[in-house]
Amino acid sequence: MMEFELADLTSEERAFRDEVRLFFEDNLTPEMRRAGRMITWAFSEFEYGRRWQKILHQRGWGAPYWPVEYGGTGWTPRQHYIYEMESMRASPPSVMNMGKTLCAPCIMEFGTPEQKQEFLPRMLAGEDWWAQGYSEPGSGSDLASLRLSAVSDGDHYVLNGSKIWTTYAHHANRIFCLTRTSSEGRKQAGITFLLADMNTPGIQVRPLINIAGDHEFNQVFFTDVRVPKSRRLGEENQGWKVARHLLKYEHSGGGRMSGELRRRVALVTDIASQESDGNGGLLIDDPDFSRQLAEVAMALEAIEFANLQVLQAMKKGEAPPPSIPLLRIRSRELGQRITELGMDAIAHYAAPFQPQARAVDNPEPAIGPEDGVIATPLYLSQRASTIAGGTPDIQHNNVARALLGL
């Protein structure tokens, strides 16, 4: 697998890299690394992510990119990149992150001092786990058409409706929601952003098993759920503004994405280096297969380089540049393409349905190559990566409007 290093690391940066590397070596148990490798959709088995967040927090790295005043690290963009790359090498558990990456920036921007004090430290410490209540059964890419109603009743809102595709809501103790408080005017104008506790009476979680056989998604039902108005983020009917702020952040994170893609390329390379081509050689030397692998590896290097340019250009605290959706379109499709190769690499052994073989604790012996147990579930689960957070069609529309001025 290609080795990618930042050109011209300063001696401070080199020392930083070594520090990060050592930290991972010292703190990652084999089980945690396995939890990091066995990701098919977004996150590791929850418990391992929870433990890892606590370790990160102790080291002061619970949310490196947060502003220092809230517990961030104050690293330079290059340091962040170094950290992501080291993280990719070490394969730590992927931590359920909707709270610290999606909700936290909104709280920092729009929250009251009390809200900041109540929520941010607990996110950092791995004490609160947030689900994202955005999509609804009738409102996916057309998010602003959402209907979960929040009716004012004294100092509470009363919620009725449901949210869907809420990743890991079954592990969350809190949920940030877009709710409908008015149907007057533009559909974006009647939305309010609320922060609710999952244990509020009237909230029910229904598991949705995905096509890989995994429980990642849920539908969350709200029946007369009372949320105090003190849990409103921003003004009533101004929730879309809050959400837009959040969407900007959801669309960044290029470093983490390319780290994940790199891990997938490494996985395919490892498999192909062991698997037979059927004719006495190794698959990695098969000209058809290696050409396809070269294409994704090449595209990945280009994406990494482009991401790095974005990162270098971003001054601290500024919003990501508008070209990020362009990189994102490509990296998601590339991510899916890599998973096809992983499945192609193991041929017939892509067939067994063996979720127990990819468990972190006491896995069953694999049917077929050990590295291959994740290949098919990864392929299946990642079909959602061009659906979640807006389809490529929506991305194309946005880019046509915002970048091309069409």
Partner 1 sequence: MPYWPATPLNSTACKPEQKLNRAQSPQGADVDHVFNDEQRMLRDSVRRLVSQRYSFEQRRAIVASEAGWSPEIWAEFAEMGLLALPFAEQDGGMGGGALETLIVMEALGRGIVVEPYLPTVVMAGGLLRHCGNDELKARLIPGIAEGRQRHAFAYTEPRSRFNPANVSTRARREGGGYRLDGYKSVVYGAPMADGLFVTARTAGGELDRQGISVFYVDARAPGVSRRDFRTIDGMRASEVQLSGVAVGGDALLGPADQGLALIERVLDESAAAVCAEAAGAMMVLNDKTLEYTRTRVAFGQTLSAFQVIQHRLVDLRVACEYGNAVALMAALKLDSAPAERARAVSAAKAMLGRDSRYVGQTAIQLHGAIGMTDDLDIGHYFKRLTAIGWQFGNADHHLRRFWSHFRGTEARALSKEAA
The CA–CA distances, whole Å, from 28 to 2, 41, 78, 97, 205 equal: 23, 21, 23, 19, 32
Considering only residues 149, 173, 210, 290, which one is a binding residue for partner 1 as defined by CB under 8 A?
Answer: 210
| 391 touches partner 1 (CB under 8 A) | yes
| 352 touches partner 1 (CB under 8 A) | yes
Q: Which is nearer to partner 1, 84 or 344 (CB)?
A: 344
Q: Which is nearer to partner 1, 28 or 296 (CB)?
A: 296
Crossing angle for the helix pair 287-313 and 324-346, to the nearest 10 degrees: 150
CA pair distance 308, 186, nearest whole angstrom:
38
Q: Which is nearer to partner 1, 31 or 333 (CB)?
A: 333
Considering only residues 23, 157, 217, 240, which one is a binding residue for partner 1 as defined by CB under 8 A?
Answer: 217
| 343 touches partner 1 (CB under 8 A) | yes
DSSP-assigned letter for residue 129: -
Considering only residues 22, 294, 302, 351, which one is a binding residue for partner 1 as defined by CB under 8 A?
Answer: 351
Which contiguous run of DSSP H or E holds residue 48? Answer: helix 46-59
**What backbone torsions phi and psi does residue 266 show, to the nearest 5 degrees?**
-65, -40
Q: Which is nearer to partner 1, 72 or 363 (CB)?
A: 363
What is the nearest approach in angstroms of partner 1 to the Cβ of residue 130? 20
CA pair distance 305, 7, nearest whole angstrom:
11
CA pair distance 274, 51, nearest whole angstrom:
33
| 164 touches partner 1 (CB under 8 A) | yes
User: Where does this chain touch partner 1 (CB under 8 A) — which range of 92-100, 104-112, 248-256, 382-390?
Assistant: 382-390
What is the nearest approach in angstroms of partner 1 to the Cβ of residue 227? 19
Q: Which is nearer to partner 1, 9 or 350 (CB)?
A: 350
Q: Which is nearer to partner 1, 245 or 396 (CB)?
A: 396
| 61 touches partner 1 (CB under 8 A) | no
With beta carbons less than 8 A apart as the criterion, state whether 323 and 310 touch: yes
What is the nearest approach in angstroms of partner 1 to the Cβ of residue 351? 4
Q: β-strands 130-133, 156-164: how paired?
A: unpaired
| 15 touches partner 1 (CB under 8 A) | no
Q: Which is nearer to partner 1, 27 or 397 (CB)?
A: 397
CA pair distance 257, 330, nearest whole angstrom:
11
- How far is Cα of residue 218 from the mean position of the Cα atoms in its chain? 16
The CA–CA distances, whole Å, from 192 to 110, 237, 262 equal: 12, 5, 38
**Binding marks (x or -) toward partner 1, 277..316, rule CB under 8 A?**
xxxx--x----xx---------------------------
DSSP-assigned letter for residue 101: I
User: Where does this chain touch partner 1 (CB under 8 A) — which range of 9-17, 90-98, 199-207, 308-316?
Assistant: 199-207
CB atoms within 10 A of CB 403: 12
Give the interface size with partner 1 as a residue count (CB under 8 A).
Answer: 55
Structure tokens at 347: 């041929």
Rule CB under 8 A: which of 92-111 touch partner 1?
A: none
Considering only residues 209, 294, 302, 313, which one is a binding residue for partner 1 as defined by CB under 8 A?
Answer: 209
User: Where does this chain touch partner 1 (CB under 8 A) — which range of 100-108, 115-123, 231-239, 347-355?
Assistant: 347-355
- Cβ contacts of residue 349 below 8 Å, gap of 6+? 367, 368, 369, 372
Sole residue written with tokens 């300063």: 10
Closest residue by Cα to residue 217 from 104, 327, 135, 105:
135
Closest residue by Cα to residue 66 from 21, 112, 106, 20:
106
What is the nearest approach in angstroms of partner 1 to the Cβ of residue 55? 32
Structure tokens at 327: 């990189």
Rule CB under 8 A: which of 127-156 touch partner 1?
A: 135, 137-138, 140-142, 145
Residues that bind partner 1 (CB under 8 A): 135, 137-138, 140-142, 145, 162, 164-165, 204-206, 208-211, 213, 217, 219, 221, 223, 275-280, 283, 288-289, 340, 343-344, 347-354, 367-368, 376, 379-380, 383-384, 386-388, 391, 393, 396
